[in-house]
Amino acid sequence: MTAVDVAIVGGGFTGAAFAIHLSRMAERPLDIAIVEPRGRLGRGLAYDTADPDHRLNAPLPVHFLYPDAPDHLRDWYAGRGGAARDPDAQAPDGSIYMRRGEFGRYVEEQLQDHIAANPSGSTIRHVRSRAVSARRISRGYALSLDDGREVSAGLTVLAAGYDRPTAPPPFDGTISDRPGFLGDPWDTARLREIPADARVLLLGMAQTASDVIAVLLRSGHRGPIAAVSRHGLRTRPRPRTGAGPPPDVVDRIVRPVSLFTAAHGRQASVRGLLRTLRSEARRAEAAGGNWLEPFGDLRDSVWDVWPALPLAEKRRFLRHLRVWYDVHRFQLPPQVETRIAEAEAAGQVSFEAASCVSAASDNGTLSVTLQRRGGGERRREAFDAVVNCTGPGMRPDRSTNPLVRALVARGFAVPHPAGVGFRVDEESRAIGAGGRADPHLRIVGPPTYGAFADQQGASFIALRLHRIVPDIAAAFRR
């Protein structure tokens, strides 16, 4: 068994950022292990892409790794000639939308720099394996890896992202195992293998579907691409006016009182939040602005607004309003938006509010019965490929990750009562089946959505880690 001070499970952005910040703030040298099966650290699923159309969905200044040096990424990008190597990164308004793979390279380089040398003299090692189970030991946890090894740690940090999407009904168990069904929308190699004249159906119309459309179009796809979703909601385009990034992103998120609360007071219902947001959007439009400014104030106040909502209101938001929030929250890069708009205008790409009623394999094609939103007649259409763009899984009790399943099954961590992510306290300590916070198990990043809401963007994750890591580092002094 290998014994370390800290075992970080997950080597994507969240895991890499945790290791970087801990090694910067630790008061003594720590032995830190990142358990990750991928060969490269810092990229994870979101940023491990070489596709030129996979871009960050907000301008460069909105993304950062170091909250105390928010311009570090901008300087890094300029120093490596990013604009010259990728002239398409600049939008018409002058903003830079860098490629997601380039951001992954940045995080990877920063982690490698901290592996080579860091302020605390800590050791950061890559344990290239997958954690599949955990058991309590006298102090901390012992992780079982899929290669038979064990790693024990005084502090275990679950920094894994969401599960990959699972096939929804009626595809699960009917055609999900057919060659024409692509369950993983981020498998760009399989996307490019789709014949150029194939009829393609996308399950979902949000950002993931937009990524898939962009990949297909760049690959020379000529056949029709139809995207459907039950609500029919598409990712909102970024307004053309007043679309510049906020002047100080960090200040907007870490101020003593959030922007939204300071302007409108504490609100205890999602109905009240929605009413206020709509009123402010109308006010902004009447003054010649747009909805982005008031929405941005709410988005950057989630850290303050969400914890104050009663549990019933959180459930109401997740059930009825989250899909609306997300299509405004995750806007398309202008480069991708333009490409899709041109294909839609040409009649190649279509979007429809419809439900998939049934699906079957029929002589080499995939036959799907669709019904438009609001009822009406059902129609049966044949497709050569179906791509699942319904989004990642967010419920630990339904996870395909063996470690997550083990933590839940043994009561070491429990799902959040809101229905998504894990239950944790303000310091990201996992709350187990007995209702007590465990100082030896922390959960960070996307799996804490139920507790903190918007823990999906890199800046939100980096800011929360920057907030909790000092106390974690101090605990190793004692």
Written as tens digits, the pLDDT of the chain (478 aa) is 799 999 999 999 999 999 999 999 999 999 999 999 999 999 988 899 888 889 998 899 889 999 999 999 999 999 999 989 999 999 988 899 999 999 999 999 999 999 999 999 999 999 999 999 999 999 899 999 999 999 999 999 999 987 778 888 999 887 888 989 999 898 888 999 999 999 999 999 988 999 999 999 999 999 999 999 999 999 887 776 554 445 577 888 888 899 999 999 998 999 999 999 999 999 999 999 999 899 999 999 999 999 999 999 999 999 999 999 998 888 889 999 999 999 999 999 999 999 999 999 988 899 999 999 987 789 999 999 999 999 887 889 889 899 999 999 999 999 999 999 999 999 999 999 999 999 999 999 999 999 998 777 899 999 999 999 999 999 997 5
The answer on 315 and 350 residing in a single domain is: no
The answer on 228 and 195 residing in a single domain is: yes
The answer on 413 and 466 residing in a single domain is: yes
The answer on 191 and 142 residing in a single domain is: no
The answer on 325 and 346 residing in a single domain is: no
For every residue of the chain, which 3-state class applies, written as one string?
CEEEEEEEECCCHHHHHHHHHHHHHCCCCCEEEEECCCCCCCCHHHHCCCCCCCECCCCHHHCCCCCCCCCHHHHHHHHCCHHHHCHHHECCCCCECCEHHHHHHHHHHHHHHHHHCCCCCCEEEEECCCEEEEEEECCEEEEEECCCCEEEEEEEEECCCCECCCCCCCCCCCCCCCCCEECCCCCHHHHHHCCCCCCEEEECCCHHHHHHHHHHHHCCCCCCEEEEECCCCCCCCCCCCCCCCCCCHHHHHHCCCCHHHHHHCCCCCHHHHHHHHHHHHHHHHHCCCCCHHHHHHHHCCHHHHHHHCCHHHHHHHHHHHHHHHHHHHCCCCHHHHHHHHHHHHCCCEEEEEEEEEEEEEECCEEEEEEEECCCCCEEEEEECEEEECCCCECCHHHCCCHHHHHHHHCCCCCECCCCCCECECCCCEEECCCCCEEEEEEECCHHHHHHHCCCCCHHHHHHHHHHHHHHHHHHCCC
The answer on 124 and 33 residing in a single domain is: yes
The answer on 228 and 263 residing in a single domain is: no
pLDDT at residue number 425: 97
The answer on 255 and 196 residing in a single domain is: no
Please check whether residue 171 lies inside any domain of the structure: no
Please check whether residue 176 lies inside any domain of the structure: no
The answer on 440 and 301 residing in a single domain is: no
**What's the pTM value of the predicted model, to 2 decimals?**
0.94
The answer on 431 and 341 residing in a single domain is: no
Please check whether residue 170 lies inside any domain of the structure: no
Looking at 329, 354, 373, the residue that finishes a domain is 329
Please check whether residue 243 lies inside any domain of the structure: no
**What domain range includes position 315?**
249-329
- Domain count within the chain: 3
Please check whether residue 422 lies inside any domain of the structure: yes
CATH number at residue 76: 3.50.50.60
> pLDDT, tens digit, for every residue of 299-316?
999 999 999 999 999 999
The answer on 53 and 200 residing in a single domain is: no
